[in-house]
Structure 1
Amino acid sequence: MPSIRAIIFDFDGTFAPQTNRLHFLSFARAFERAGYKLTERELAPLMGVPQDEIVRTLLPSSDEQEVRDISAHKSAEYKKLIEHERIPKANIRTAETLKKRGFKVAISSGSYRWAITKLLPAHLMNDLITAESVHRPKPDPEILLKTAHDIHVHPEHCVYVGDSWRDCEAARRADMFFVGVLADLTADELVLAEPDMIIDRVSELLKIFKKAPQEVDS
């Protein structure tokens, strides 16, 4: 592993471990409202894909109006579900401690900004890059490379922490070290993707990354 100066987190299923299941529940309700059924097995391989594209993939016969309607109802359901949710305190402390140790910390996620800022404490991260900021979703490395550029750290000195094969492949293409976090909906595919390292929870990062180097590459 090269010298690490930045820790970049995926959001859903990683920094906010409970949200994968909330995304499934909101998708399932939106599908049911439209007369369809959805299982976790069907959705799991698509976690991290833009919302409209998930609907198109799972319902290829749907026209664009139905895709937009289902996606809109999914967003409405998700907003209800996250209303009283909080990011685990251990994950908040992990990010705060990593910053104190000299690391830059950021979120790089395919979710929409509103869905993240609803839960993420303001000013916790050095940077937040979301779906609206890029043209190509993971596993394309665009979102990770943009994050590295914004925080002025070369990709090879960044760690990406995620929970899916898309996260792993995006990190690989971006030339970043990848740490996989085992999550309920995506654990099997994550292991098959062969991450550089696997952990059970985000807080374990504190045992791995003790102190950032003094010099920062740009």
Structure 2
Amino acid sequence: MVWCRKEKKGVIFDLDGVLVDSSEFHFKAWQIWAARHNTTMSYEFFRETFGMVNDNIIPHLLRRELTKEELKALSDEKEAIFREVARGKIKPLEGAVELVMGLKKAGFELAIGSSTPKKNIEVVLESIGLAEVFHVRVGAEDVSRGKPDPEVFLKAAELIGVRPERCVVIEDAVAGIKAAKNAGMKAIAVTTTHPRERLAEADIIVERIADVTVDMIEELLNQR
């Protein structure tokens, strides 16, 4: 008898807006950081810039040009504040943990592919009880090009040992969906931060992570 080995399959999760909503903790961290540096961060400016890299936000807040070294130090300071205010307080979005555990039980290889610093990823996963599930985590330090470049997802796929065409990415951002498609992967968009029409490039669009099922992902991978 000849046994056919089933090909591995993977799911790569973005973090914020997919597994958690950490926006309130980032806003609080920015406010603390801004007060230390004699400036302010309005909620309107925060919403407008949420998801942008710190290197683009900080010069606007301080109203001056900064060296690369200054930017790194100031950005690291803000992220350290975020970890301090968020540790143990972030909650998973409804249905997120159930989906992750269901995928693990069904034999999927799992990874995080995020623009977030890895220390932040660690704090978030520990806070929602999924640190032991996601052994593969690709963060900001691991890539030289951000989304919509596919580097983050291709690296995650390589680390879990799954071909890109056998991976599904779950994202909430326009750039993230583009990155998934640029990587040759299937993409599921969650409308937690952007309206449905802006995420039209995704293969499937849902309102909540709780709407995503293991069967839905299996069927998506079986499509040609």
TM range (shorter): 0.7 to 0.9
Q: 1:36: how far off?
A: 2.9
* Equivalent in the alignment of 1:9: 13
Runs of 5+ consecutive residues of structure 1 not aligned to the other structure: none
Greater displacement, 55-64 / 126-135: 55-64
Larger Rg: 2
Task: Tell me the CA shift for residue 96 of structure 1.
Answer: 1.1
Task: Let me know the Cα RMSD of the aligned residues.
Answer: 3.0
Kept in 2, the 8 Å contact 1:4–1:159? The answer is no
> Contact between 2:8 and 2:109, CA under 8 Å: does it hold in 1?
no
Matched with 2:102 is: 97
Name the residue aligned to 2:4.
none
Question: Which range moves more in the overlay, 18-27 or 39-48?
Answer: 39-48
Structure 2 CA distance for aligned equivalents of residues 124 and 80 of structure 1: 23
Alpha-carbon distance change, 196 to 209 in structure 1, aligned in 2, over 3 angstroms:
closer
Greater relative contact order structure (CA < 8 Å, 6+ sep) = 1
CA 1:62 to 1:113, structure 2 compared with 1: closer, same or farther past 3 Å?
Answer: same
Distance 2:152 2:180 in 1: 10
Report percent identity of matched pairs. 27
Query: Is 1:52 matched up with 2:55?
Result: yes
What does 1:143-158 align with in structure 2 at a 5 Å threshold? 143-158=152-167
Q: How many residues align?
A: 208
CA contact (8 A) 2:167 2:221 kept: no
Partner of residue 19 from structure 1, selected from 17, 22, 47: 22
Letter paired with 1:146:
K
Q: Offset of 1:37 from its aligned partner?
A: 3.0
Specify the code of the residue in structure 1 equivalent to 2:104.
K
Which shows bigger deviation, 163-172 or 36-45? 36-45
Deviations along 1:9-62, one digit per CA (max 9) or x if unpaired, are: 00112112x213322331233234323333444344544444334324665623
Q: Work out whether 1:28 is the aligned partner of 2:35.
A: no
Map of 1:129-140 to 2, 5 A cutoff? Answer: 129-140=138-149
